[in-house]
Chains A and B, each alone.
Chain A
Amino acid sequence: MSNTEKPASALSRRGFMKGVGAGGVVTGLVGGATAAPAEAAADSPTLMGPGEVSVTLRVNGEDRTVSVDTRSTLLDALRNRLDVTSPKKVCDRGTCGACTLLVDGVPIYGCSMLALEAEGRSIETVESLGTPEQMSAVQAAFVKHDAQQCGFCTPGMIVACTALLQRNPSPTRDEVRDGLGGNLCRCGTYAGIIDAVLEASKTLKGGV
């Protein structure tokens, strides 16, 4: 494929349009988005869909092969196909953070990534961090500081807090406010959340 367009990512714009243009509706997706090198994908895109395709997702350390609609977001695939329901769909537009996941250790919104994009990557939800009997430092601190009321924002919030402490083990109050700017709570638990993150920071540094 020789043209003057510069491929912005693994996919060229033209390659993508070619993939989705055939059916006239946006139901197709070019495969190999994450795994294939740029040249290969640009030269010979594999058309996936419309309809369902099989994908293997590595969720909380376990490879799970599942059939998904090519249009499925990672969030919908987790919730509707794999019954992993801790990430919540609240805004469905990348605003509220209730579906925050760790993908290859980086916090992302599950509603804003396609399931097919996540193939071959490590996907972690709050379930991987601890259990009610054995909570992580962040989870235990959330309980202690009552950093949750209805609890619907909590799984995403805790994933975001965990990621924050991984990249900044000793945040100040203001850094906590900044670091969690992508997560919203409606019940108003922010005061408890800040205290919880600061306490978890101490606990983690103490090696407890």
Chain B
Amino acid sequence: MAKPQWPSAEKRRLIGKRIDRLDGPIKSTGVAKYAYDQHFDGLLYAKIFYSPYPSATINAVNMEAAKALPGVETVWVDESLIGKEVRYVGQVVAAVAAVSEEIANEALRLITLDATPQEAQIDDTDPSKAEEKKSEREEGDFEATMAAAEVKSTGRYSIPVITHCCLESHGQTAKMEGDHLYIWPSTQAVSLYANGLDEAVGVPQANIHVDCQVMGGGFGSKFSHDKWGVIGSLLAKETGKPVKLMLERDQELMVAGNRPSAHGEVTVGVNKSGKLQAMEATLWGTGGSGGYRPPPVPYVFTKIPATRLTGMRIKTNRGGQRAWRGPGHPQGCFLTMAAVEDAAAAIGMDALEFFKTNLELTERAELYAKQLDIAADLIGYKTKAHLRGDKTDGPLKRGIGIGIHTWGGLGHPSNCDISVHPDGSVVLKMGTQDLGVGTRTVVGIVAAETFGLPLEAIDVNIGSNAYPSSNASGGSTTVGGISAATRLASTDALNKLIDVVAPRLDVDVDDLEAVDGKLQSISDPTKSIPWKDACKLLGAKSVLGRGENIRGESQEMGLIDQGVGGVQMADVTVDIETGVVTLNEMAAVQDCGLIIDLKTAESQVYGGLIMGITYALYEECIYDNRSGRMLNADMEFYRLAGLKDVGQLKVHMMTGPGFDERGVIGLGEPPVISPGAAISNAVANACGVRVPELPLTPDKVVAALQAGGIV
């Protein structure tokens, strides 16, 4: 009988290799159809009318002129808002559905709003605007330990609200047929999408058919069907016509989720030997109209003997926060790593030596030590490093910075069905989704490995809620969850096949394995049967294997695990005359247990680095404190890094003994956590002064240089 545990290294033919993603060809040739690409005869285009006020009472919404415009099929108003308040610019108020996008846009301009504007809180940087309620935590003998520390270093650090900016905006195409709703959303949660939509639209869950084969990015913002999912479905139901509703770019940037800000004053107590003694942090920030949890500080160095943390929320009239890759961690990492690196500079200690000196204050001292060495080698730390402040002549200053991070990533609950048919075909079904991570490829690899077949032999079916339920993709839990479920399902199916085949080969069921396209006796490899012939023995009956990832059980079996570490280093040049930061090089060292597809795993790390470079250098939602409007709600001024901005990237995955046997651990979050910290530290190392805020735009760099007396 086949066992569900992962095969040993010498037996793996596919797992851990560099394998092309299965949907690469359809994406590269434009064949892949996203929610935004669904097209039907008679399609209506729906558009959202949103509040232009950050805070106002809605008295009336006049839709008459919009409704009368030829080509407008129907309109929708959120009646529950009449007499009530809107709380941010961009809040959904009404919608139109028209026969063309052009007419829908024209109709939006005909809608008039009668509203009474009110005072709004927009700014999130002033801690006196925080709510009374504070979260406070103290560990160790804080007062005494901090007082006894030989050197104290205090700084103010700030990381702004940024947004997800998914290239495919939020939304869906929906169509009613009889009493069934067919819907093509851009979602991170295929199996869960209909939850709540059923009641809102009046269609039972069993009649809601969700299909999402490819989707253009989520990053934590696309877990729900959202209000636009409800509106699009209602309009489809009312008109009997297919309706496409995708948010315009400004809406996507303003209301479809963001990453909360974190501002703080952090004091680090350290001894001259470099040992961290105590940390005090007062943090505040905003999640807009959503909730706010202060980020984890101290981050990674969680065993600093004495800490005091105060967290405060500033409620603002801005769009609500959502999970953003590694919720809380990039902020916590930046605030902590910048503060401790400032302490290292205060005692005149090399940053790498300082981090190494304090690794015992982390949960993964041994791993981080190795990762620091590898990253240092990759980036050439020994030859490039200097104490804070590049003392060479000229305006171009070079520096190196370090960030360290951690993440959980335990595989989520997931179900998989695999049928093996008498003709030898293998059909895999799972209600998961591929956000671009490569989940489709990962489950294919796991099944192919188990059956001893080539990847192409597996018919992989995901992206539909008709398949066995799988959880949402978030928190780096997907690849672990779907890999374990697939391994369990394929092992189950294989064992059912073995039950039929073993007696025919006259071997014991425990003596059969699937390898190289055949079932073969382990003790006597001359006894074997090709896969197709083996499947023929099933007669007219297919076998169905089922697998469910149950966290504790799978972890015990060694299929999945949680808890990873990573180290990143950045090499930058700062022009102290212009304040322009150029990223020369970045190195990332990362572990994630057993890697299923090394190629797509590395892509995750490259992607994390680049997204991190982007928020370190460019990204920020800029709000006007008077009007409450986001001033850069477009992609020209909400700037993403381009090819020229990211420098040379080096990625090292920790694999092999010590890592593989842990089982599979997800990878979406970890590599995006450290870049802000590493790049900020590199800029401080280059210029000789901390630029206290991200993103490291020229104005902020020059201001810090001036404040520090450098220029």
In residues 239-254 of chain B, which contact A (Cβ within 8 Å)?
248-249
CB of B199 closer than 8 Å to a CB of A: no
A184 x B635 contact (CB < 8 A): yes
A186-B102 in contact given A85-B39, A88-B36 (Cβ < 8 Å): no
B607 x A146 contact (CB < 8 A): no
Residue of A nearest to B215 (CB): A150
The CA-CA distance from A153 to B437 in the complex, in Å, is 15
Residue of A nearest to B636 (CB): A95
In residues 155-172 of chain A, which contact B (Cβ within 8 Å)?
155, 158
A177-B644 in contact given A88-B36, A143-B20, A188-B611 (Cβ < 8 Å): yes
A189-B603 in contact given A129-B29, A131-B29 (Cβ < 8 Å): yes
User: Interface code B212-232, partner A: CB below 8 Å = 1, 0 otherwise?
Assistant: 001111010000000000000
Count residues of chain A with CB under 8 A from any CB of chain B.
Answer: 59
| Segment touching A, from B161-169, B279-287, B621-629 | B161-169
The CA-CA distance from A67 to B610 in the complex, in Å, is 42
The CA-CA distance from A83 to B244 in the complex, in Å, is 14
Set B27, B437, B438: member contacting A154, Cβ < 8 A: B27
CB of A86 closer than 8 Å to a CB of B: yes
The CA-CA distance from A144 to B27 in the complex, in Å, is 13
CB of B296 closer than 8 Å to a CB of A: no
The CA-CA distance from A186 to B249 in the complex, in Å, is 14
A85-B29 in contact given A149-B436, A152-B168, A189-B606 (Cβ < 8 Å): no
The CA-CA distance from A151 to B22 in the complex, in Å, is 12
A85 x B167 contact (CB < 8 A): no
In residues 99-136 of chain A, which contact B (Cβ within 8 Å)?
125-127, 129-133, 135
B607 x A149 contact (CB < 8 A): yes
A186 x B165 contact (CB < 8 A): yes
| Segment touching B, from A7-15, A16-24, A30-38, A68-76 | A68-76
Residue of B nearest to A131 (CB): B29
CB of A180 closer than 8 Å to a CB of B: yes
User: Interface code B198-218, partner A: CB below 8 Å = 1, 0 otherwise?
Assistant: 000000000000000011110
In residues 173-206 of chain A, which contact B (Cβ within 8 Å)?
176-178, 180-181, 183-194
- A75 CB to closest chain B CB (Å) equals 10
The CA-CA distance from A71 to B103 in the complex, in Å, is 10
A76 x B102 contact (CB < 8 A): yes
A150 x B635 contact (CB < 8 A): no
B435 x A150 contact (CB < 8 A): yes
A192 x B603 contact (CB < 8 A): yes
B635 x A91 contact (CB < 8 A): yes
A193 x B29 contact (CB < 8 A): no
Residue of A nearest to B40 (CB): A83
Set B167, B636, B649: member contacting A98, Cβ < 8 A: B167
- B622 CB to closest chain A CB (Å) equals 16
The CA-CA distance from A191 to B583 in the complex, in Å, is 14
Which of chain B's residues have a CB closer than 8 A to the CB of A186?
165-167, 217, 219, 611, 640
Which of chain B's residues have a CB closer than 8 A to the CB of A191?
606, 610, 646, 649
Set A91, A132, A149: member contacting B31, Cβ < 8 A: A132
Residue of A nearest to B217 (CB): A150
A95 x B24 contact (CB < 8 A): no
Residue of A nearest to B169 (CB): A90
The CA-CA distance from A148 to B20 in the complex, in Å, is 11
Residue of B nearest to A182 (CB): B642
- A168 CB to closest chain B CB (Å) equals 15
Set A96, A135, A188: member contacting B28, Cβ < 8 A: A135
Which of chain B's residues have a CB closer than 8 A to the CB of A71?
102
Set A95, A139, A146, A181: member contacting B643, Cβ < 8 A: A181
Which of chain B's residues have a CB closer than 8 A to the CB of A79?
37, 39
- A172 CB to closest chain B CB (Å) equals 13
In residues 609-644 of chain B, which contact A (Cβ within 8 Å)?
609-611, 634-636, 640-644
A146-B24 in contact given A80-B101, A132-B29 (Cβ < 8 Å): yes
Which of chain A's residues have a CB closer than 8 A to the CB of B602?
146
B600 x A146 contact (CB < 8 A): yes
- A26 CB to closest chain B CB (Å) equals 11
The CA-CA distance from A190 to B583 in the complex, in Å, is 14
B102 x A188 contact (CB < 8 A): no
A69-B167 in contact given A89-B36, A152-B217 (Cβ < 8 Å): no
A184 x B606 contact (CB < 8 A): no
CB of B83 closer than 8 Å to a CB of A: no
B608 x A90 contact (CB < 8 A): no
User: Interface code B25-38, partner A: CB below 8 Å = 1, 0 otherwise?
Assistant: 11111111110110
- A148 CB to closest chain B CB (Å) equals 5
- A92 CB to closest chain B CB (Å) equals 6
The CA-CA distance from A123 to B649 in the complex, in Å, is 36
A150 x B643 contact (CB < 8 A): no
B167 x A96 contact (CB < 8 A): yes
The CA-CA distance from A90 to B169 in the complex, in Å, is 7
A143-B606 in contact given A152-B167, A152-B168, A178-B644 (Cβ < 8 Å): no
Complex A-B: 20 CB contacts under 8 Å: A69-B100, A69-B103, A76-B102, A79-B39, A80-B101, A88-B216, A91-B636, A95-B635, A132-B26, A135-B25, A142-B28, A144-B20, A146-B21, A150-B168, A150-B435, A152-B167, A184-B642, A186-B640, A188-B608, A193-B643
**What residues make up the interface of A, taking CB atoms closer than 8 Å to B?**
69, 71-72, 76, 79-80, 83, 85-86, 88-93, 95-96, 98, 125-127, 129-133, 135, 139-140, 142-144, 146, 148-155, 158, 176-178, 180-181, 183-194
Q: A85-B36, A186-B219 are in contact. List 19 more A-B contacts (CB 8 A).
A: A69-B103, A80-B100, A85-B37, A90-B168, A90-B249, A91-B636, A92-B248, A93-B249, A93-B634, A96-B635, A148-B21, A154-B28, A181-B644, A185-B167, A186-B166, A186-B167, A186-B611, A190-B606, A194-B643
